[in-house]
Structure 1
Amino acid sequence: MRKICILTIIFLFAAAELFAGAKVISYQGQLSNPDGTPATDAVYPFEFLLYDQSSAGSILWAESTDLETNNGLFSHNIGSVNDLSTSLFSDNELVYLEVKVDGNSILPRVLLSAAPYAFSAGNLDVRQNGLPSISTQENGVFTIFDTLGEAYIKMQNLPADSAVMLPDSAINADEILDEPGINYSVDINLVTLTTGEMTDLTDFTMTIPDNGYILLYGKCYLLLSGTTGANSAVVQIDETEGGSTAFPYYQIAGLSGYVNSGTNYFPIMVTRVYYKQKGTYTFRLEGKANHSLPAQAQSWDHILTGIYIPTAYSEVQAIVADPTGFSDSEQLNDAQNRGTVYKVDLRELEIKDKLIELLDQ
């Protein structure tokens, strides 16, 4: 009698064949001699038996077939000769495979893992217990039904937004991590600027679902007229109503003299970034005249855009008058003597908030 053993066993679950209706387990191995060399290539009689115990026990299922080896290697789809019943796996908590080659049992038996138990998924129906049921279809559609038999969640072989269908309101904005958002405000009114406090040009209130960055862009036109002398104005983005200029986030437009007192147009574009904790904030595009009458400064076509970004991937530099709370700040020398300012990285605030969240867990 030939003495052989299985040197290598590989189990592969043929999921594609399962969806097509064939319930098989792909089994591959290598026959070897006692000294470890591959068994002589030939056609060998194989038996595949499923038991309910690791030794002794009852035979649950069996099939026999002849397999040809190549350098000792062989493969077989278990269930291709005798059908594997879905109940075999659903009714038995543990199922063990024993292989016989030329009448010799290859021991120990092998415990089949979770893969074969997926056979029962196609017939899973537990609506009587108040749980959803599941079905699979040949075209790759996987559907979970609610207790009324209506499709609840559907995964289907379609592109883009149609790939997965969820119930209405299954996810709300606050539950989505790393979800950016946008606010956009437009005011086309002509606004006359004064030399006192900043005048609001347009604003919006923005609620962010978690800590993160708010990137702001502002745009408008300045209309300067009324004098041949100096005339200019300043525009910026800020949180505080009124107040003065915030270096270096403002933009100045104008000239020291004009050929006549007619209207001159100057386009303005400003930007600013904040780091904010979860909550509600108001931002404004605002402007101020730099010269008194007869010089006149007006603005129009105001647009303010705010984009919430939940995290940073590199430096987020900012200029602040007070570096308190930042461990690493760089004092800057302002050539125009507009005050002492410091350059900081707003990511420090993000990191501190994340550490606090971890400590609170």
Structure 2
Amino acid sequence: MKKLLLLAVFIVFTSTNIFSQAIPKQIDYQGVLKTSAGTIVPDGNYQLTFKIYNDPTGGTPLWSEAQTVAVANGIFSAHLGSITPITTVPFNRIHFLGITIGADPELSPRTLLTPSPYSFMAMNVMDNTVVKSLNSLKDDVNLVAGSNITITPSGNNLTISAAGGGGGTVTQVNTGAGLTGGPITTTGTISVANDGITTAMLQNNSVTSAKIVDGTVATADLGDNSITSAKILDGTIVSGDLANNSVTSAKIVDNTITSSDLSNNSVTSVKILDEPGIAEVRNETPFSIAGNTAMTTIATLSITIPAAGYIVLEGKSIAWFSGVTGQNELYMQIDETEGGTIVNPYWTKAGLQAYASTGQAFFPVSCQRTYTKSTGGTYTFYLEAMPVSSNVPGATTNLYITQFRAIYYPTAYGGVTSIKESSGGNDESISLIK
């Protein structure tokens, strides 16, 4: 079995009334099975072993259970404790769940059990002992009626009543700070005086926006740095509100700067996207490829580009044939991998099927290839050649005065395509990019 991964697990503790009834000590567990390549595993039944530990690694399991679970579209569900009741885990501290898939090693890291399973601890709360104390009194607590108080039990209710008696007569009500209408000796109305509520009377955070009259908050009422962007109405900031040098590039929406926004002579060469770069090698030493059965490197070229873009390569040489009057030809191509055979459609062929003599014959040969690169970096390319496999034995096949050039163009210059004429005489567009 391929190595499996477990993703996106959810743990839900299921229980009923924790008082006076048996608690089904089970944990609902759901997850997704994927292969190590990240693909969903095939539907079917899988053997899963679940273990609960005190520790995130190592240790001895407090509880263990093996289940065969059905997996559909990678998703499975399991009721932990449905086979082996979870009676050996006290759930009075942090616990961890370990999972093993088939014969694979236990998955790492273990899953930290969230508080829900710890409701198992409620099992220790017995009937009639939920209230542990009342005003520091424990065990049997008696309600005693005081003076003029009557306690009347009725079923599960206790009615506490106060009898009449005692008291006095209010002869005068005075008004304090912020109030008006007093003193009152018979009847009257006490109300809040105009401007009677002072700052000291207001609790912190007690005044909401609904209590502030619209248009009455002045500059002096605002603390320094108290206004955030969320408090500013969209489209109301004008040029006069901005300090010099206050707008950074991060605040400018991409592609919104136009020619009219730029002052004359404001753009320097360093502000222009990277210009084309070039690298080239040259070798005038003759290079023999006679008898070779795979592509042979005749020039190697590396170019470092600053960002994504196109690398246009061109290789040129002079093919030098001699020694036979029969077939003597060669292939030449540009590749990022040395050796191998010809790569369609990037090879070029030079030479003849037959020669007038065994003397020397020379042919110019060249090939081109364009690559696209999504990131900057250093890239290496090879100009390669090999003789045609059907060449006449004894043929001499050489290359000399070899030139290999690479030119880099940023992607901002646009895409690269070519037009070729098809066998039917119609033009068609083909990509030159690898």
Q: Which TM-score bucket, shorter chain as reference?
A: 0.3 to 0.5
TM-score in terms of structure 2 length: 0.34
User: RCO greater where, 1 or 2, for CA within 8 Å and sep 6 or more?
Assistant: 1
TM-score in terms of structure 1 length: 0.40
More strand by share: 1
